Amino acid sequence: MLACISNNTHSLEVTRHLQLQQDDQYEKGPYVIIKELGSGLHGRVFLAYDDQQQCHVAVKLPTVLTLDALTTGHVNVNELEQQVASITHECNAMRRVQHPNVLQVDRLVFNQKFSYDYVAMVTEFAPNGDMFDLVEAAGALPEPLVKVYACQLLRALEACHANGVVHRDVKPENLLLDINYQLKLADFGVVAVAPMGSAATNVFPRDESGTALYMAPEIKSRQKYRGTPVDVWSTGVVLFILMTGFPPFNVAQEGDVWYDDILAGDLDHFWKTQPDEVLCAMSPGAQDLISSMLVAPDQRITVTEALQHTWLQGADSVDVALIRHAVSTHLEAALAASKIMTA
């Protein structure tokens, strides 16, 4: 179980920017770790069981806390403090955004092990994996289903931006699926945030954060850039992948033919040179929306404008049961096809 918590001066210094809530714990955490779900730069995520609430949760711990470290106490304290600060920053950002398509924080647990302190962030658990898993298992999604997920992602980002949060790492791996296959935007580890009470239009980062394939070109400029448009660019890349099963360019750098077309603003040539399977997978409306996302930041559509795009009309109010049925049917069809090919 996650063990006890210290409230000493060192703990308070490390977590001085933390916004405490009533459920945050300084004592025994009622969580039984079951298995590791994944890891990133600053955190490892585990599936756990909450004995008090009688449900599964996800628990994020600093990556330096390996089993060996927890057993022996041999930990790089400086690295641990950096990861604690990162998880704290992530939690603060997530708590700003209360939306059904954003993964929700349950609480923070402050733990002490040997002579050092650390935090564990507890969130709701999304049992159906992520969009990357779904596309990898079943291939490109049907366009009507992509429309639904596009709306859910854009609604999540709209809520983030309204509350001063720029995600900066929108990608299929960070789009989780709950028990009903509803989208949950997760992993706020590299967010940029505006002062409390300000919208994300006031966020102008300078650092290069995110995942290269999904990173807007202006992030690589090493100059200040507007925060909100970078999430829109990433969304355009994600939508292309969901509908085709592969990205819109081979590498996100100059020299890639398709990427160069986009940088030059020559979207007509970009689409004309796409493989037939891409053009068959997307309607003109889908191409138009993606084109409006993969342009220079001053021309790029906003998330609110994207939600008003004609291609998405009617997709914002699809019944949950229909979504669950559509995903299940898609997975079953992919499984049947794979059995035929391997027979």
Q: What is the mean pLDDT of residues 109-129?
A: 78
Q: What residues are paired with 41 via a beta bridge? A: none
SS3 of residue 302 by DSSP: coil
- What is the residue-wise DSSP string for 120-157? EEEEE--TT-BHHHHHHHH-SPPHHHHHHHHHHHHHHH
173 has binding-site annotation: yes
- The predicted pLDDT at position 40 comes to 77
**Where in the sequence numbering do the catalytic residues fall?**
169
Look-up: residue for tokens 């009470």? 197
User: Interhelix angle for 228-244 vs 284-293, to 10°?
Assistant: 150
The per-residue pLDDT for range 78-107, each reduced to its tens digit, is: 888 888 888 989 999 999 999 999 999 998
Structural domains in the chain, CATH included, are 9-124 (3.30.200.20), 131-337 (1.10.510.10)
SS3 of residue 5 by DSSP: coil
Residue 3's pLDDT band, with cuts at 50, 70 and 90, is: very low
Say yes or no to pLDDT of 199 above 60. yes
Mean pLDDT in the chain?
A: 86
Tell me, what amino acid is at 96?
R
- The predicted pLDDT at position 4 comes to 31
Distance of CA 314 to the CA centre of its chain: 25
220 has binding-site annotation: no
Q: What is the mean pLDDT of residues 143-156?
A: 97
125 has binding-site annotation: yes
Residue 66's pLDDT band, with cuts at 50, 70 and 90, is: low
Q: What is the mean pLDDT of residues 302-313?
A: 97
202 has binding-site annotation: no
Alpha carbon of 230 to those of 233, 242, 255, 268, 307: distances in Å?
5, 19, 21, 22, 16
Burial degree of 102 (CB within 10 A; 0-12, 13-18, 19+): buried
Pairwise CA distance, residues 153 & 159, whole Å: 10
Residue 330 CB: number of other CB atoms within 10 A? 18
Say yes or no to pLDDT of 28 above 60. no
Say yes or no to pLDDT of 26 above 60. no
111 has binding-site annotation: no
- What is the residue-wise DSSP string for 189-247? TT-EEPPTT--GGG----S--S-GGG--GGGGGSS---SHHHHHHHHHHHHHHHHHSS-
Pairwise CA distance, residues 159 & 68, whole Å: 40
- The predicted pLDDT at position 23 comes to 53
